[in-house]
């Protein structure tokens, strides 16, 4: 006997538990929208099934089987109770493209995930999807409906960067940095990142000094070539040129230049490799002072050449720079010195850093703070261009996307970004497949917590496919649903204004939405989006 149950994309179907959520077989979307539904499956005997999918959407409808992945550290420090499970174990996570038969293990639930992935525009109107499941005495049919509104979502205006670690790609696939295969794999992953909202990319002009133990180093991915002859610097931008052309080719518009100083304090320089009198040498790194004369002179030599290149490339309004990630109050005076060096050289560009402490902004040291979402209330209404982020430390009440968290907690971010008119979002781990501080590589299919240091799901949202292309997580799909909610809200605002749009979001709830207060309900999330879509339909009829 086969049990089947159609569900929304917000349900996580665990193998050892029948999903309690209500059946869900219909969703309204826009012509260019990625949207998902799923069918939970459980057979009382081991069996193999063939999934036949009949739809007018053709190859714009993709089918995946949801696989569970082990979470060794499901909870972060201080994590609240809005979580699914607290113990280490298997969590629904990986979307494996269906190729051939589906194998079901007796008594174990799994999920068939169906996702619209438009190439151009989906056909408008009610798009029926018939899924037939056949084999081993099974003959079941399930019908789903994607109700496609005859309109497109607007272009994403939110700047979004999810730190893109090309050294992890080089390490996992065992390909030399800057080899043809390296560039091919990088472009594959960047294409997927852009397809799911990333329009800004961490650009390793020098090997980013991120998540690196003191005295250690990550593989060199430095895009700017440096030569030193008779104490004079010269620079080669050919690899940076190749990088920017690749980004433009896949649709990425903004360039987040790697930090000029080490993380959590700006005490030292990033690793910089140069050809010195014909020999390759590390000229800066942990062994050199961040604010010493030698590094200042280097940046003074680099700045006019890099700025000229940026202007010639036509990206001067698409670039932003960093000083050091996540400074803390005890190092304020030192950070100010490092910041002044960057401002002296690149002050005409936006300079921004991830930040928790308001004083850095109040004193004008950080002009464009990227504030974690559990501290953002201190900054709202005071910052010219508000950005936010979350990572391993955002565990209490706020949105995040760990394995252990309900998908609604992932998706609610969209209406929060809209309501508070957030201009940018950052996350540090698109594909970080090392342990914390990059001490060793990990197999992301088996070790999802960076060596028991970060909650499972914090450090990556994609998995390495054998063909040099990424495999998706359901968390990435749901995260992009949040962005699409935001875009639908922006579309509605263009018709009825911001105030009425926010009223529609909060209709029927007692407490206004903040970054820490919001309904903990799949049903509310889905109904809210349907209200927005219905309101847009009414406007389109006028």
Residue-wise pLDDT for 16-37, tens only, equals: 999 999 999 999 999 999 999 9
Residue 344 neighbours by CB under 8 Å, 6+ apart: none
In 3D space, the residue among 192, 201, 198, 200 whose CA is nearest the CA of residue 164 turns out to be 201
Integer Cα distance of 355 and 386 in angstroms: 12
Q: Is the dihedral of CA 460, 461, 465, 467 positive or negative?
A: negative
Integer Cα distance of 21 and 297 in angstroms: 62
Residue 342, in any domain of the structure: no
Angle between the 238-250 and 293-313 helix axes, to the nearest 10 degrees?
A: 50
> Residue 137 pLDDT more than 90?
no
Residue % of the chain over a pLDDT of 70: 100
Residue 455, in any domain of the structure: no
Residue 195 neighbours by CB under 8 Å, 6+ apart: none
Maximum pairwise Cα distance, the chain: 80
Residue 314 neighbours by CB under 8 Å, 6+ apart: none
Q: Which domain holds residue 54?
A: 2-151
* Predicted local distance difference test score (pLDDT) of residue 487: 98
Residue 202, in any domain of the structure: no
Residue-wise pLDDT for 486-536, tens only, equals: 999 999 999 999 999 999 999 999 999 999 999 999 999 999 999 999 999
Alpha helices in 455-521 (DSSP H): 474-496, 498-505
Question: Angle 443-445-447 (CA atoms, 0-180°, nearest 5)?
Answer: 60
3-class SS of residue 454: coil
What phi and psi, each to the nearest 5 degrees, are found at residue 165? Answer: -105, 95
Q: In whole angstroms, how far apart are CA 101 and each of 104, 210, 466, 485? A: 10, 43, 19, 34
Tally the domains of the chain: 1
> Residue 139 pLDDT more than 90?
yes
Distant-in-sequence contacts of 240-243, Cβ < 8 A, 24+ apart:
240/203, 240/205, 240/309, 241/313, 242/183, 243/203
3-class SS of residue 166: helix
CATH number of the CATH domain containing 43: 2.60.40.10
- Please tell me the total number of residues recorded for the chain in this structure: 542
Average pLDDT of the chain to the nearest whole number: 97
Integer Cα distance of 26 and 333 in angstroms: 56
Integer Cα distance of 172 and 433 in angstroms: 8
CB 256 within 8 A of CB 200: yes
Residue 273, in any domain of the structure: no
Residue 29, in any domain of the structure: yes
Name the pLDDT band for 299 (thresholds 50, 70, 90). Answer: very high
CB 239 within 8 A of CB 273: no
In 3D space, the residue among 211, 312, 205 whose CA is nearest the CA of residue 260 turns out to be 205
pTM of the model: 0.98
Residue 268, in any domain of the structure: no
Residue 109, in any domain of the structure: yes
Residue-wise pLDDT for 49-91, tens only, equals: 999 999 999 999 999 999 999 999 999 999 999 999 999 999 9
3-state helix, strand, coil in the chain (%, to 5): 30, 25, 45
């Amino acid at each position: 006997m086969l049990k089947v149950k159609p569900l929304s994309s917000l349900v996580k179907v665990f193998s050892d538990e029948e999903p309690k959520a209500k059946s869900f077989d219909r969703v309204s979307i826009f012509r260019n929208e990625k949207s998902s539904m799923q069918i939970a499956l459980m057979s009382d005997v081991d069996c193999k099934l063939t999934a036949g999918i009949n739809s007018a959407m053709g190859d714009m409808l993709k089918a995946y089987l949801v696989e569970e992945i082990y979470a060794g550290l499901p909870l972060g420090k201080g994590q609240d109770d809005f979580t699914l499970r607290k113990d280490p174990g298997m969590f629904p996570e990986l979307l494996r493209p269906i190729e051939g038969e589906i194998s079901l293990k007796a008594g174990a639930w799994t999920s068939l995930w169906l996702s619209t992935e438009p190439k151009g525009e989906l056909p408008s109107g009610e798009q029926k999807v018939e899924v037939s499941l056949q084999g081993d005495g099974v003959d079941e049919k399930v019908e789903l409906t994607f109700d496609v509104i005859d309109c497109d979502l607007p272009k994403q205006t939110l700047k979004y960067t999810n730190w893109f670690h090309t050294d992890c790609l080089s390490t996992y696939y065992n390909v030399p940095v800057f080899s043809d295969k390296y560039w091919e794999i990088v472009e594959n992953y960047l294409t997927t990142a852009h397809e799911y909202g990333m329009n800004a990319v961490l650009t390793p002009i020098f090997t980013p000094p991120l998540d690196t133990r003191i005295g250690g180093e990550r593989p060199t991915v430095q895009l700017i070539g440096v030569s030193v002859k008779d104490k004079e610097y010269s620079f080669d931008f050919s690899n940076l040129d190749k990088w920017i052309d690749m980004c433009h080719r896949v649709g990425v518009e903004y360039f987040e230049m790697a930090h000029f100083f080490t993380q959590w304090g700006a005490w030292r320089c990033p690793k910089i490799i140069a050809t010195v009198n014909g020999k390759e040498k590390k000229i800066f790194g942990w062994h050199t002072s961040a604010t010493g004369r030698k590094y200042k002179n280097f940046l003074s030599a680099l700045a006019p050449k890099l700025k000229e290149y940026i202007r010639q490339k036509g990206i001067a309004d698409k670039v932003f720079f960093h000083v050091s990630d996540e400074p803390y109050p005890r190092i304020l005076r030192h950070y100010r010195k490092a910041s002044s060096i960057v401002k002296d050289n690149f002050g005409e560009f936006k300079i921004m850093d991830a930040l928790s402490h308001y004083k850095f902004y109040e004193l004008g040291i950080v002009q464009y703070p990227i504030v974690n979402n559990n501290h953002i209330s201190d900054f709202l209404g005071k910052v010219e261009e508000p950005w936010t982020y979350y990572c391993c430390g955002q565990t209490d009440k706020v949105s995040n996307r760990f394995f252990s968290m309900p998908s609604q907690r992932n998706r609610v971010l969209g209406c929060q970004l809209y309501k508070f008119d957030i201009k940018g979002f950052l996350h540090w781990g698109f594909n970080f497949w090392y342990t914390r501080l990059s001490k060793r590589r990990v197999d992301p299919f088996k070790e999802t917590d960076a060596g028991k240091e970060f909650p499972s799901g914090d450090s990556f949202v994609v998995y390495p496919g054998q063909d040099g292309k990424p495999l998706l997580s359901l968390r990435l799909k749901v995260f992009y649903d949040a962005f699409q909610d935001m875009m639908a809200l922006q579309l509605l605002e263009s018709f009825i204004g911001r105030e009425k749009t926010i009223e529609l979001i909060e209709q029927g709830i007692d407490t206004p939405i903040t970054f820490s207060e919001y309904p903990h309900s799949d049903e509310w999330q889905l109904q809210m989006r349907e209200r927005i879509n219905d309101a847009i339909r009414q406007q389109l009829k006028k």
